[in-house]
């Protein structure tokens, strides 16, 4: 296994992800618990993360001596590199500018990290983000690559198998970064790379058992992939000590609520309380047109209903959530620093504070595509696991203006036609999110010999890797006109269809 020592970088989890992709098991330990983690794990190799701190500050985090003296292969990234040099007798200086963003390094010497990847004299793109830099190497190290701003962009000590780089190999903007990390774990550490999602499942099942003991757990299902995967995994670990509560707000897509119920009850035999709260939600949404007011009401009501049900069930000390790593970062930046709230995603936070329960969050270190892989591993059907992301407030934020049961029904039908055509054309998996919106505008049309005066439906489809930025999906005209014709013919209440050509930014993916 690999121990990743976390010095507090925003992207440490990406290191773990790349190591998983290389088929190697890893654990992240904060620097101040690294010594204990090292003793417990007895890792084959160690990776040191970046950090917002500076080694030049008093009290900046340090690498535990046991790790430096262990004789195991070590890879230092950014702050990890600087702390290696600082502690092993090199020199780090700060203050004159640094490098931020794309940079190009030149390969000056051979290195085990470059094995089969980079050759002498080549130039490669990397992602830098550093204020301080290494200005003199510790004994035994040699430079193997440099950039204009970092003479020691990559350094090596072959005898001790310690390697370090100033840039961040874990981010996508270092195109070969994943391969560099793979070379470290496979080639330098000599690990076989046969670790899989099946193993992740086993490890997590044991962790959940250890955490929960004989206690009871409740899990709120949203109908989405994340909470479903978390619930199935937890059920595998603790069986019927788990009860799931599915708060059905009536704002789901066509057939979705039924699918969740039949999957859980019929297929997995997981105890499930299905609360049909659609009337409560739709009543409360009457007269509400402001998007944030919709979100707030739905978020609060969701918690109220869930809390009531939890009380009825009684006796649970743990609350399970399908929190993913991007939720962790996003919710931090939403509540923490100066970044503005664009939209308040209701499914992150809120519940735990209110309910005073301990959390079980087995997916906390995973990214969306990894959760899908885990879901498949657990036997969830492909069509379920591969579903596009769906916002917590559901169709309410796809119906600008006032939401009603009738309008939800109209939208559900149009959306189902659109998605069916996308699936039939084999495009579903190439698209990050596709959905219909129902506009609060009526326009005039003519069908047969009669005048119509009905709603406009908007179609949206985007590609994205993380939902933070997005591009429109370029359907061909024949596809779009087929969908438009079908929707207008088959969905009563819609007589015009438009396609949304806005990327994000400046648009957001959802219309509200």
227: annotated binding-site residue?
A: yes
Decide: helix, strand or coil at residue 374: helix
Q: Is 345 in the site for ligand XMP (CB under 6 A)?
A: yes
Q: Where are the alpha helices (DSSP H) in 93-171?
A: none
Helix 225-238 to helix 197-212 angle (10° resolution) is: 70
Please give the full DSSP string across 265-315, using - where no structure is assigned: IIII---EEEEE-HHHHHHHTTT---HHHHHHHHHHHHHHHHHHHHHHH--
Q: Determine, following the binding rule CB under 6 A, whether residue 392 of this chain makes contact with ligand XMP.
A: yes
Closest contact distance (angstroms) between CB of 509 and ligand XMP is 3
Range in contact with ligand XMP (rule: CB under 6 A) among 15-23, 38-46, 422-430, 503-511 = 503-511
Closest separation in Å from C-beta 13 to ligand XMP: 19
Give the phi and the psi of residue 457 in degrees, each rounded to 5. -110, 130
Q: Is 389 in the site for ligand XMP (CB under 6 A)?
A: yes
Return the residue of 147, 433, 455, 495 that touches ligand XMP, per CB under 6 A.
Answer: 433
Q: Does the footprint of ligand XMP cover residue 509 (CB under 6 A)?
A: yes
Q: How many CB atoms lie within 10 A of CB 195?
A: 19
CA neighbor of 224 nearest in space, from 55, 348, 315, 38 = 348
Q: How far is the CB of 60 from ligand XMP (least distance, A)?
A: 36
- DSSP three-state, residue 505: coil
End-to-end CA distance of the chain: 45
The answer to the question of residue 391 lying near ligand XMP (CB under 6 A) is yes
**Whether the Cβ atoms of residue 64 and residue 35 lie closer than 8 Å to each other:** yes
Query: Closer CB to ligand XMP, residue 141 or residue 432?
Result: 432
Using CB under 6 A as the binding rule, the residues of this chain from 11 to 30 that contact ligand XMP are: none
- Closest to ligand XMP by CB, 44 vs 428, is 428
Instruction: Considering only the stretches 49-57, 72-80, 113-121, 344-352, report the one whose residues sit in contact with ligand XMP under the rule CB under 6 A.
Output: 344-352
Cα 241 versus chain centre, distance:
28
Is there a binding annotation on residue 223? yes
| List 130, 295, 368, 387, residue binding ligand XMP (CB under 6 A) | 295
Q: Check residue 301 for interaction with ligand XMP (CB under 6 A).
A: no
**224 labeled binding residue:** yes
Any contact of residue 49 with ligand XMP (CB under 6 A)?
Answer: no
Minimum Å gap between C-beta 463 and ligand XMP is: 12
Q: Which is nearer to ligand XMP, 76 or 391 (by Cβ)?
A: 391
Would you say 93 and 82 are in contact if contact means Cβ atoms under 8 Å apart? Answer: no
Q: Helix, strand or coil for residue 134?
A: strand
Instruction: Please give the DSSP secondary-structure letter assigned to residue 442.
Output: E
500 lies in the site for ligand XMP, by CB under 6 A: no
The verdict on whether residue 333 carries a ligand-binding annotation is no
The neighbour count for residue 206, using CB atoms within 10 Å, is 11
- The gap from C-alpha 400 to its chain's centroid, in whole angstroms, comes to 27
Quick check: is 170 catalytic?
Answer: yes
β-pairing, 358-360 vs 316-320, is parallel
86 or 368: CB nearest ligand XMP:
368
Whole-Å CA distances, 340 to 3, 101, 323, 467 = 35, 23, 22, 17
Active site residue 168: yes
State both tokens at 246: 């599915």
Nearer to ligand XMP, 4 or 437 (CB): 437
Contact between 82 and ligand XMP per CB under 6 A: no
Q: How many C-beta atoms lie closer than 10 Å to residue 97's C-beta? A: 10
Note whether 14 and 127 are within 8 A (CB): no
- Measured from the CB atom, the residue of 177 and 394 that comes closer to ligand XMP is 394
| Part in contact with ligand XMP (CB under 6 A); list of ranges 25-33, 229-237, 241-249, 341-349 | 341-349
Residues from 439 through 478 that contact ligand XMP (CB under 6 A):
467
Q: Tell me which of 49, 347, 455, 495 binds ligand XMP, using CB under 6 A.
A: 347
CB of 452 to ligand XMP, least distance (A): 31
Q: Which of 86, 99, 170, 365 is catalytic?
A: 170
How far apart are alpha carbons 89 and 124 in whole angstroms? 29
d(CA 408, CA 511): 15
Q: Counting contacts by CB under 6 A, is residue 398 touching ligand XMP? A: no
* 99-107/26-30 β-pairing: unpaired
Among 209, 216, 343, 358, binds ligand XMP (CB under 6 A): 343
Q: Is 83 annotated as a binding residue?
A: no
Binding-site sequence positions for ATP: 222-228
Mind telling me the catalytic residues? 78, 168, 170
Contacts to ligand XMP by CB under 6 A: 295, 343, 345-347, 389, 391-393, 433, 467, 504, 508-510
């Amino acid at each position: 296994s690999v121990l990743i020592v976390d010095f507090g970088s925003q992207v440490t989890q990406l290191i773990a992800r790349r190591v998983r992709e290389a088929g190697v098991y890893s654990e992240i330990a904060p620097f101040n618990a690294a010594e204990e983690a090292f003793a417990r794990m007895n890792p084959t190799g160690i990776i040191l993360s970046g950090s917002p701190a500076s080694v030049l500050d008093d009290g900046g985090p340090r690498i535990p001596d046991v790790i430096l003296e262990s004789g195991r292969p070590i890879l230092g990234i950014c702050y990890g590199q600087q702390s290696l040099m600082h502690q092993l007798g090199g020199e780090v200086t700060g203050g004159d500018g640094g490098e931020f963003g794309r940079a190009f390094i030149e390969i000056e010497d051979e290195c085990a990290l470059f094995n089969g990847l980079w050759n002498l004299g080549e130039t490669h793109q990397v992602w830098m983000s550093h204020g301080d830099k290494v200005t003199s190497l510790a004994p035994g190290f040699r430079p193997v690559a440099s950039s204009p701003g970092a003479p020691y962009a990559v350094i090596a000590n072959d005898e001790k198998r310690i390697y370090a780089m100033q840039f961040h190999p874990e981010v996508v903007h270092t195109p070969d970064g994943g391969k560099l990390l793979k070379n470290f774990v496979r080639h330098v550490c000599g690990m076989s790379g046969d670790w899989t999602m099946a193993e992740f499942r086993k490890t997590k099942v044991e962790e959940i058992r250890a955490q929960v003991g004989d206690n009871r757990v409740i899990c709120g299902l949203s109908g989405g992939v994340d909470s479903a995967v978390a619930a199935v995994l937890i059920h595998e670990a603790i069986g019927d000590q788990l009860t799931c509560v599915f708060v059905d707000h009536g704002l789901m897509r066509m057939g979705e609520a039924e699918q969740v119920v039949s999957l859980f009850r019929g297929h997995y035999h997981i105890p499930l309380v299905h609360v049909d709260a659609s009337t409560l939600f739709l009543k409360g949404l009457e007269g509400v047109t402001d998007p944030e007011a919709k979100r707030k009401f739905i978020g609060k009501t969701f918690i109220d209903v869930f809390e009531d049900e939890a009380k009825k069930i009684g006796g649970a000390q743990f609350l399970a959530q399908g929190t993913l790593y991007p939720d962790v970062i996003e919710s931090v930046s939403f509540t923490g620093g100066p970044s503005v709230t664009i939209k308040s995603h209701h499914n992150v936070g809120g519940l735990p504070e209110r309910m005073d329960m301990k959390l079980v969050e087995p997916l906390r270190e995973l990214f969306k595509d990894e959760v899908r892989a885990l879901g498949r591993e657990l036997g969830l059907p492909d069509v379920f696991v591969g579903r596009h992301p769906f916002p917590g407030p559901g169709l309410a934020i796809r119906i600008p203006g006032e939401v009603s049961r009738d309008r939800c029904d109209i939208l559900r039908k149009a959306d189902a036609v659109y998605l069916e055509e996308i699936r039939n054309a084999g495009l579903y998996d190439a698209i990050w999110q596709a959905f219909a919106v129902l506009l609060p505008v009526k326009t005039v049309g003519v069908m047969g010999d009669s005048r119509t005066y009905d709603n406009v439906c908007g179609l949206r489809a985007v590609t994205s890797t993380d939902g933070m930025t997005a591009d429109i999906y370029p359907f061909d005209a024949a596809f779009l006109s087929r969908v438009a014709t079908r929707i207008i013919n088959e969905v009563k209440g819609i007589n015009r269809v438009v396609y949304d050509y806005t990327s994000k930014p400046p648009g957001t993916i959802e219309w509200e």
